[in-house]
Structure 1
C-alpha cells in the first residue's frame, strides 16, 4: 500500500548576515504530522549527562525539538537526548539495526527503489565524514564507500535496514576539485531526488565540528528549508578535541549554534556524533526511530 508523507509546516525566518546587506528568506520546515503538531520550545536544562572528554556547547536557553505526542509542560531533563536538543517522545521505539543490505545505486531519482519504504538521506559537505558515520551507524566497516579523496560517492545509494526502511547515501557537496560538469550533474540529480521522493522522512545534514561554520552548509540548509524538506543537523568529528589551528569542536558547534539562534526563529533538531568513539550513535538512531514510527502511522 502506498504511504503518503504527511507534513506540518512551521514557518521559520532565515537571515543571512552577509555584507553589505542581509538577505532574508522565509520558508517552511516540514515534519511528519498525525494528530498533534510538533513544536519547538526554548527551555533551560542543566543536567545533560556529563562526559570526561566532551561537554555540550554552553547555551542558556537551548531550543528543544519536541516530537509528536509530547506536551511542552511534560518535558524533563531525562527526556532530552545527551549532546542534542532532541526530546524523546512516545513514538521512539526499537532503534537497533539487526540487518542491513545494499540494494542499489541510482544515477537518477527516477531509478531509486519504488517499494514505498520510509527513508532517511545522509547529506553533507565532501570530507565531512559521511561514509564513516554510515558505517558506524550500521556497524559495518565498508558498507558505504570511504576514501581519503573527497567526492567518491557519485550516485544515490540505498541501504535497506531491518528490511523496513532505507538509509540513503547521497553525493557530498562543495568538493572544490570536482569539474564544473560534475557539479552541475550533482545539482541536477540530487535536487531531483529531494523534490520527488514522497518516502523521504528527513535529511540528516552532516556538519563538520572540527572546522568553523561554513557558509555552504547554511546555503544547503536554506535550500532544503525553502523546499519543505525536514532536516536534522548531525555534528560529526566531535572526538577531535585538539587541533593545530583554530578552535576545538565544542567551540565550532557553539559558534554554529549562535548563528542558528540569530538566523532561525526556531531550531531544527541537532545532535553531536563521532564515528571514532561512537558518541551519539544510539541516540541518533533513537531519534530516527521516533520520526519513522510516527511517519508509519
Structure 2
C-alpha cells in the first residue's frame, strides 16, 4: 500500500477522546520496547512519525495515527515493564480493557512479540485476552534481523508453541531494519479496507 498521508491525531486516555470518524482501527499490543513504533514507521516509510524510545514504558496513552485518511493505527501502552507503579499499571489495564472490549471500530490486533525470546507470561495473557473477546489478531514477531535466518524455524516453533498457535495461525516474522514481513502485514490490513 502506498502511504501518502500519515499523522498522529490524539493521545487518548478515555473513550470520550477517541476519534468519532468511524474509520477502522488496527491496535498494536505488546510489551514495552517490542518495536511497535518501529513497526508503524516501517509500514508507512517514515523515520519518526511514531516516536521510538530506548526507555521502556514511554507510551502511556492510546496513540492514534491516521493513515491515508482511511484507517488508524492505535499504539496501546506496552505491558510488562517493571518500573511502573502498581497504580499506574492498574490504570493502563483498565484503559486497555475498555478499549479492547468496547471499541466497535477496532478491526484487528497486531500482537507483537520479540522474536529473539520465548513469549512472556504477559504475551500469553494478552493473547488469551484477545481470543476471549473474539477479536481477530495476527502475531508479529519483531526484531527478526537480530537472529540468523538459519535459526528462524527454531524461533518460530518456540513462539507458536508458547502461544498455542496452530500451524495455520498467522505469525508474521518482522524486521523494521530489513522490511521483512512488511508486505504480509499490509495484506492483513487491506483485507479489512476493501
TM-score w.r.t. length of structure 1: 0.61
Name the SS of the counterpart of 1:173 in structure 2: coil
Specify which of 249, 254, 257 is matched with residue 157 of structure 2.
254
Alpha carbons of 1:264 and 1:278: their partners in 2 closer, same or farther (altered >3 Å)?
A: closer
Conserved 8 A contact 1:210-1:249: no
Alpha carbons of 1:259 and 1:180: their partners in 2 closer, same or farther (altered >3 Å)?
A: closer
Say yes or no: does 1:143 pair with 2:49. Answer: yes
Name the SS of the counterpart of 1:151 in structure 2: coil
Alpha-carbon shift at residue 191 of structure 1 (Å): 1.1
Q: What do residues 41-69 of structure 1 show as CA deviations (whole Å, max 9, x unaligned)?
A: xxxxxxxxxxxxxxxxxxxxxxxxxxxxx
Residue in structure 2 matched with residue 113 of structure 1 by the alignment: 19
Alpha-carbon shift at residue 249 of structure 1 (Å): 4.9
Structure showing greater Rg: 1
Alpha-carbon shift at residue 283 of structure 1 (Å): 2.2
Residue in structure 2 matched with residue 285 of structure 1 by the alignment: 186
Name the SS of the counterpart of 1:239 in structure 2: helix
Output the CA distance in 1 between the equivalents of 2:152 and 2:54: 21
Alpha-carbon shift at residue 138 of structure 1 (Å): 1.2
Alpha-carbon shift at residue 265 of structure 1 (Å): 6.1
Q: What do residues 77-128 of structure 1 show as CA deviations (whole Å, max 9, x unaligned)?
A: xxxxxxxxxxxxxxxxxx2222111111111133110110011011111111
Give unmatched runs, 5+ long, in structure 2.
none
Conserved 8 A contact 2:11-2:62: yes
More helix by share: 2
Name the SS of the counterpart of 2:59 in structure 1: coil
Residue in structure 1 matched with residue 85 of structure 2 by the alignment: 179
Output the CA distance in 2 between the equivalents of 1:265 and 1:140: 34
Residue in structure 1 matched with residue 119 of structure 2 by the alignment: 213
What is the aligned length? 193
Specify which of 163, 171, 193 is matched with residue 69 of structure 2.
163
Conserved 8 A contact 1:231-1:268: no
Name the SS of the counterpart of 1:252 in structure 2: helix
Output the CA distance in 1 between the equivalents of 2:171 and 2:165: 13
Say yes or no: does 1:230 pair with 2:136. Answer: yes
Residue in structure 2 matched with residue 6 of structure 1 by the alignment: none
Alpha-carbon shift at residue 229 of structure 1 (Å): 1.5
Name the SS of the counterpart of 2:33 in structure 1: coil
Give unmatched runs, 5+ long, in structure 1.
1-94
